[in-house]
A and B are shown apart, each in its own frame.
Chain A
Amino acid sequence: MRIVVDRDKCEGLGMCEAMAHEFFEVGEDGFVELLDERPAESHRQDIAAAVDACPVLALSLAD
């Protein structure tokens, strides 16, 4: 599983971090940083919740 961030869309609102802080962190510059771009399949549920929580639809999952 691979997490894809659309940097043009991300507004650093941090909902992804709230849902799964092991994988997402908003940086000083106000953009999300991925802590692990290719997380193990076992984390799919948490990561999918984070992807869904993004208010500006900046996140997606690619397999």
Chain B
Amino acid sequence: MTGTGGLVVVGASLAGLRAVEAARRTGYAGPITLIGAEEHLPYDRPPLSKAFLCGDAAEVTPFRSEQELRDDLGVDLVLGAPADGLYPAQQLVSVGDRQFEYDAAVIATGASPRRLPGADGVAGVHHLRTVDDATAIRDALDAGARTVVIGAGFIGSEVASAARKRGLSVHVVESLGLPLVRSIGAEVGSVCADLHVANGTDLRLGVGVSAVESSGGRVTGVRLDDGSVLPADLVVVGIGVQPATGWLEGSGVPLHERDRGVVCDATLWTGLPGVYAAGDVAHVANPLFDDELMRLEHWTNAAEQGAAASKHALDPASATPLAPVPYFWSDWYGRRIQFVGTPRADEVQVVATAGDAFTALYRRDDRIVGALTIDRPREIMKFRRRIAERGAFADAVEFATAS
């Protein structure tokens, strides 16, 4: 047996790091163990598909140095070693033949990219989740790769944008007729899709991929189900992610039937004593939106939930429901896309377009529940506030039109 109870955090990325920091900030002085599958110290992912790929940021620096983590925060780091089991009856997390006892545990294992069948192991085919992925993609872009992105989601779109910035030819292939429907709704998804076209990216909508073609183990192109072939030296697969919960199967931690994410209540509790979850891995009921169960893949969500999860796990009596307004941003072709709230709405109204800037508002009953802006950094948080206050849709429309 290793460790003497205390707080065990599984997943050493944003949510896990915030869990550790918050535990110390609230004055917890007991042992903390941070277990991470990657060799790396916790680092920030959003720049991986932005500044890092464009060549504006040379390296990825960790959030905190090893010394800060070990000495200042008093964390036992277990890196490069995935947890492979959680045993609620014994309050243990296992990592190979090591076992870590916990009084409080935070599950923050995030999500891993969905794989494209038949493309694994082909050189030149990549996903984008880790710094190692990003380095490989950047090397290929440096070499002037003809690029095909499979999936017109946010991360794939940022990759396309980085490749265009370097003047490379890029195709984006999306099997759905409209992109981004799940994250921002159909109407606005098509407005974002137009940004690809306007910036010289070839966007193929409603076409599936039938095979990744290779020669000598290296990718040569992508065959589409209309029979055409897009030649490629670099293929980036961005078809979504899957919560990283394989290690929890059979543990008793409730997993969502659709995607196996961890199901929690609004305080991030899994229902097992002392076990809470945070970040991309977690489905959480949100009281602000009729208790809709949300699994978000957003930076701010992981940061907020990470901090709350360890506080609640260490002191369950103090746990209060979170009712956040989700927020994410994405940068395409030098344009800033920002979204707050939920896309699940009765109506989406495009309220203001001026030059290239754009605002759309999302209505549920007579409330405003979401807002998307392109290049309106001054307004987005004002909508967020209205959403948090359950403000009237009509007032938000008036505000958007006036500003």
Contact = CB atoms under 8 A, between A and B. Distances in A.
A27 B338 CA distance: 15
A15 B336 CA distance: 15
Contact of A26 (B46, B299, B303, B378): B378
B21 to A, nearest CB: 8
A35 interface: no
Contact of B327 (A12, A15, A30): A15
A41 interface: no
Interface in B38-97: 44, 46
B46 A17 contact: no
Given A12-B336, A15-B327, A21-B385, A55 B303 contact: yes
Interface residues on B, range: 10 to 19
B252 interface: no
Given A21-B385, A30-B336, A55-B303, A13 B378 contact: no
A18 B381 contact: yes
Interface residues of A, number: 14
Nearest to B300: A15
Contact of B299 (A21, A30, A55): A55
A17 B40 CA distance: 32
B381 A14 contact: yes
Contacts of B325: 18
Interface of B: 44, 46, 299-300, 303-304, 325, 327, 329, 336, 338, 377-378, 380-381, 384-385
24 contacts: A12-B336, A13-B329, A13-B338, A14-B338, A14-B377, A14-B380, A14-B381, A15-B300, A18-B327, A18-B381, A18-B385, A21-B381, A21-B385, A25-B378, A26-B378, A26-B380, A27-B378, A28-B378, A30-B336, A30-B377, A53-B300, A53-B303, A55-B44, A55-B300
